Amino acid sequence: MARMSLAARLTATFLVIMTVCFVLVGLLLYRAAEQRGHEQDDTNLVLSARHLRRLVAELDSLGELKAHQDRMVISVLGDTSNALRIVDDSGQALVDYNPSGFPLDVRAPVPADQRVVADNLRTWRGDDGVPIRGVAVTGQVRDGAHVTIVVARSLSDREAVLHRYGRDMALRLLAGMVAAIVLSHLLVRRALRPLRAMASDAAMITAQSLQTRLSAGGAPAELHALTDALNAMLDRLEGGFTRVWQFTVDLAHDLRTPIGNLRGTNEVALTRTRTAPEYQALLGSNIEECDRVSRTIENVLFLARADNPQFALQCVSLDVAVELERIAEYFEGIASERQVAIQTLGTAHLSADRDLFRRAVSNLLSNALRYTPPMETITLRTAAVDDMVVVAVENPGDGIPPEHREKLFDRFYRVDRSRSDSANSTGLGLSIVKSVMELHGGRVAVESEVQGVTRFVLWFPNRS
Ligand SMILES: Nc1ncnc2c1ncn2[C@@H]1O[C@H](COP(=O)(O)OP(=O)(O)OP(=O)(O)O)[C@@H](O)[C@H]1O
Ligand SMILES: [Mg+2]
């Protein structure tokens, strides 16, 4: 099903609201007019009945009634829907004015000594079902004879007027409603124009034009929040794209160096026939370069997997001191080659992914081994601090100048490129440490004194 536009939805909502309001207002107005009409009719009937009773009371005998018939009729004249009948006690009509010929009810007249009020009025129906409203009252002439005076009014013309009024009002309300809907639709469309402009601006943005920003322009205040949010999203996307682009450039650069080395040494070797030991040396250096390429690829793959939100940690309870001991043992060979000692201090327990924990600490330790002068000691330290477990790798050395510390954890960042571009360096070790810490909900920090101790600290949230 095609989705309804916002303008159509708002117009439909207005339509419902307006229909309800207009119908309610129309009904109220109709009811008010109807009531006013009935009140007016009732008042006229009561006043006529009282007037006729007074006229009758002024007569000396019933005989005079005929002579004053015109006066009597005049009091109800002016409208063919009115009727008047005066009957004597025997039921004989003395005065009879009923141009419409509707039935008149002479039963239960208001006694002569009782004042006629609106409550005495009754409603009955004519032969054609038309409602008739009227009252019968008893009148008395001076000689004491009684007559029954009936004053009545057919409500058919009143109903016709009301009907016309209702129809006219309904037509006008309908016209008002149509005008209101057309206007509201135009206004809504106009109000949504900035949104359409924003949508077409957004549609123009591609990966190549991520620097474009949406303009709030003349948009209403509500849309400014949306524009700001979309622009903030574009900032993040642009940042992300730039990082991916930088990463690709760095990766290409890092792979080009060992491949260039491979090709260069092989080309040189092929310029003439070599001895077996020379070929062996060449193959050895080839393998070293291949190792570097595969380490870079392996690290890049690890970072890509860690970036995936689906990455699942296999957390287990770790005795940190034991883990540090094991890592230290693993690096014992290289350490003694470089005449560096490794000591472990402290105890703590931690819930973490064992492989990732080892990987992070090993990366820090392999860095420390590279930058520690001979005869010095590297310290692996752990402690539980409040609700965190801290693991620190400390080594004496030249230290890291402050301006580099911020960027150390960026992918492919090295402080001293010439020195680090050796076969052992991929420039990804610390970014892997950062990823591992983010996966664990922790963080990594570095403190370094020039010509002093460099300390990398891992903060793990302690969930064990
Ligand atoms: N303990 C340290 N003392 C001095 N500098 C360090 C130390 N640890 C890291 N660095 C600096 O930080 C840079 C980045 O380290 P990182 O571990 O990310 O890369 P790498 O060691 O060069 O390569 P990889 O670890 O992938 O083999 C290093 O090149 C080095 O310049
Ligand atoms: Mg490293």
Q: Would you list the DSSP string of 326-391?
A: HHHHHTHHHHHHTT-EEEEE---EEEEEHHHHHHHHHHHHHHHHHHSPTT-EEEEEEEEETTEEEE
pLDDT at 116 over 70: yes
Spatial distance between the Cα atoms of 209 and 122, rounded to a whole number of angstroms? 85
What is the CATH number that goes with domain 312-461?
A: 3.30.565.10
- Which residues, judged by CB distance below 6 Å to any ligand atom, belong to the binding site of ligand 1? 363, 367-368, 371, 395, 397, 400, 408, 413-416, 420, 424-430, 454
Residue 158 to residues 78, 117, 171, Cα–Cα distance (Å): 15, 21, 20
The pLDDT, as a whole number, for residue 392 is 98
pLDDT band at 96 (very low <50, low <70, confident <90, very high): confident
Long-range contacts of 343-347 (CB under 8 A, 24+ apart): 343/377, 343/378, 343/379, 343/380, 344/379, 344/380, 344/381, 344/382, 345/379, 345/380, 345/381, 345/382, 346/320, 346/321, 346/381, 346/382, 346/383, 347/319, 347/320, 347/321, 347/382
The pLDDT, as a whole number, for residue 220 is 79
Do the beta carbons of residue 255 and residue 292 sit within 8 Å?
no
Report helix, strand and coil shares of the chain as percent, to nearest 5: 55, 20, 30
Residue 277 DSSP label? H
pLDDT band at 2 (very low <50, low <70, confident <90, very high): low
The pLDDT, as a whole number, for residue 228 is 92
Measured in degrees and rounded to the nearest 5, phi and psi for residue 141 equal -85, 170
Of residues 142 and 395, the one with the higher pLDDT is 395
> What CATH number does domain 6-162 carry, 3.40.91, 3.30.450, 3.40.50, 1.20.58?
3.30.450
The pLDDT, as a whole number, for residue 199 is 87
Task: Name which residue sits closest to atom 5 of ligand 1, judged by CA.
Answer: 400
Do the beta carbons of residue 342 and residue 365 sit within 8 Å?
yes
Of residues 18 and 2, the one with the higher pLDDT is 18
264 Cβ contact list (under 8 Å, min separation 6): none
The pLDDT, as a whole number, for residue 328 is 97
Of residues 79 and 143, the one with the higher pLDDT is 143
pLDDT at 362 over 70: yes
Q: Which of 366, 367, 415 best tests ligand 1's pocket when mutated (most atoms within 8 Å of CB)? A: 367
Task: Name which residue sits closest to atom 7 of ligand 1, judged by CA.
Answer: 367
161-170, 195-204, 239-248, 360-369 — most confident range:
360-369
What number is the average pLDDT over the span 205-212?
A: 88
Query: Which ligand gives the minimal distance to the CA of 415?
Result: 1
| Beta sheet of 453-461, edge-to-edge order | 341-345, 377-385, 388-396, 453-461, 443-448
Fold exhibited by the domain 221-304: Helix Hairpins (1.10.287)
The pLDDT, as a whole number, for residue 303 is 92
221 Cβ contact list (under 8 Å, min separation 6): none
The pLDDT, as a whole number, for residue 419 is 56
In a 3-state reduction of DSSP, which class is residue 424?
Answer: coil
Query: Which ligand gives the minimal distance to the CA of 411?
Result: 1
Spatial distance between the Cα atoms of 344 and 340, rounded to a whole number of angstroms? 14
pLDDT at 399 over 90: yes
Of residues 225 and 368, the one with the higher pLDDT is 368
Q: How many CB atoms lie within 10 A of CB 81?
A: 18
Cα 288 to averaged position of ligand 2 atoms, centre (Å): 17
Spatial distance between the Cα atoms of 415 and 424, rounded to a whole number of angstroms? 15
pTM: 0.62
What number is the average pLDDT over the span 425-454?
A: 93
- Each domain of the chain, given as residue ranges in start order, spans 6-162, 221-304, 312-461
The pLDDT, as a whole number, for residue 373 is 96
pLDDT band at 463 (very low <50, low <70, confident <90, very high): low
Q: Which of 426, 430, 454 best tests ligand 1's pocket when mutated (most atoms within 8 Å of CB)? A: 430
Cα 443 to averaged position of ligand 1 atoms, centre (Å): 17
Residue 69, Cβ density class (10 Å: 0-12 exposed, 13-18 middle, ≥19 buried) = middle
pLDDT digits (tens, 9 = 90+) for 166-175: 899 889 988 9
Spatial distance between the Cα atoms of 249 and 247, rounded to a whole number of angstroms? 5
How many residues does the structure list for the chain? Answer: 464
pLDDT at 318 over 90: yes
pLDDT band at 100 (very low <50, low <70, confident <90, very high): confident
14-23, 29-38, 248-257, 312-321 — most confident range:
312-321
Measured in degrees and rounded to the nearest 5, phi and psi for residue 152 equal -145, 165
Measured in degrees and rounded to the nearest 5, phi and psi for residue 56 equal -60, -40
* Nearest ligand 1 atom, CA 299: 26
Least confident range of 22-36, 176-190, 207-221: 207-221
| Beta sheet of 131-140, edge-to-edge order | 93-97, 82-88, 146-154, 131-140, 122-125
Do the beta carbons of residue 378 and residue 342 sit within 8 Å?
yes
Least confident range of 131-140, 341-350, 421-430: 421-430
Mean pLDDT of the chain: 89
Helix axes 320-330, 354-371, angle to 10 degrees: 50
The pLDDT, as a whole number, for residue 76 is 66
What number is the average pLDDT over the span 307-311?
A: 85
Backbone conformation region of residue 108, classed left if phi is above 0, alpha if psi is from -120 to 50, else beta: left
In a 3-state reduction of DSSP, which class is residue 37?
Answer: helix
The pLDDT, as a whole number, for residue 198 is 87
The pLDDT, as a whole number, for residue 357 is 97
